[in-house]
Amino acid sequence: MSEIRYDGRVAIITGAGGGLGRGYALYLAARGAKVVVNDLGGGADGAGSGTRAADAVVGEIRAAGGEAIANYDSVATAQGGAAIVQTALDAFGTVDIVINNAGILRDGSIVKMPSANFDILIDVHLKGAFYVTQPAFRVMKEKGYGRVVYTASGAGVFGNFGQANYAAAKMGLVGLSSVTAIEGAKYNIRSNVITPIARTRLTEDLMGAMGEAFAPEYIVPMVAYLVSEECAYSHEIFNVGGGRYARVFIASAPGWQVPDGGVPSVEQVRDNLDAIYSDAGFRIPGSAAEA
């Protein structure tokens, strides 16, 4: 089998100053990609900023003979997203790949979470991914090629105590990717979601000793495939971590149809809950229209 390479491709990777983002940047650059290393340089909670993290990764890439440029803009504003994409255009002339990886954590139970902590998670994870992808999508559409990866989470798809803000933002990314995939299909733009389990600065305190089995290196090859020209998938979700790779999907079962087409009573709903709840014969809709 031939080696997967990214020669001539330009990749934007947000939050690439450490953890998973750094891993993606080094891997793609080693295989020929020109990389925009974006990182605000703040803390795990989103506070602060700096240039050191992004500069260090760019230094690693260049020392190994690759091409990269740093960007320090925040993804959390439309202006920041546009500036990140403009950095790619100014330095390398185009955009082929976007890996939406930037993220922060501000955990708390629903009853104790300040609204500001909810808002900022939406701004960084969900709006941030949109703000970067939208201008990049325009470039990809014009050239007829693009690969987009959104970083969601099992907390978003399945839920997790104390992470209402994080989960809401992450599940929003699933919907955003679905639309990106549908709107990009005829332009050879493919969009997919990963729900990674990895030891990073956001998770190391939560994972403890278990984190040793979930090194970021396990995530990189899957994402590298999803952003490759060979990628055959779009509109998909993949759970990745600790050497396990699996498809996650949202499906719809046949359910129960009101026999006469009228509006049912609450008792009719109650009496047909077995059929409504059953997952037998499920299908995976390709769009809301199909569902």
Is residue 196 within 8 A of residue 151, CB to CB? The reply is yes
Strand, coil or helix: 227: coil
For residue 278, the enclosing domain spans 251-291
Task: Report how far residue 255's alpha carbon sits from residue 193's, in angstroms, rounded to the nearest whole number.
Answer: 27
Identify whether 3 is part of a domain.
no
Do 162 and 257 lie in one domain? The reply is: no
**Are 83 and 118 within 8 A, CB to CB?**
no
pLDDT value of position 213: 59
Catalytic residue check, 27: no
Q: What is the pLDDT of residue 44?
A: 80
pLDDT attached to residue 166: 94
φ, ψ for residue 52 (rounded to 5)? -60, -45
| Secondary structure, 3-state, 196-209 | ECCCCCCCHHHHHH
Examine residue 4 and state whether it is found in any structural domain, yes or no.
no
d(CA 84, CA 67) in angstroms, rounded, equals 16
**CATH number, position 102:** 3.40.50.720
pLDDT per 10-residue tile (average), the chain, 291 residues: 94 96 97 97 79 97 98 97 98 98 93 96 97 98 98 90 95 98 98 84 55 77 97 96 92 93 93 96 90 83
pLDDT at 108: 93
pLDDT given for residue 41 in this prediction: 84
Q: Is residue 185 domain-shared with residue 87, that is, in the same domain?
A: yes
Identify whether residues 136 and 257 lie together within a single domain: no
| One-letter amino acid for residue 71 of the chain | N
Phi, psi torsion values for 278, nearest 5 degrees: -60, 140
Q: Which of 131, 145, 150, 166 is catalytic?
A: 166
- Packed helices 78-92 and 128-143: angle between N→C axes, nearest 10 degrees: 40
Q: Does one domain contain both 126 and 21? A: yes
**Do 287 and 158 lie in a common domain?**
no
Number of domains composing the chain: 2
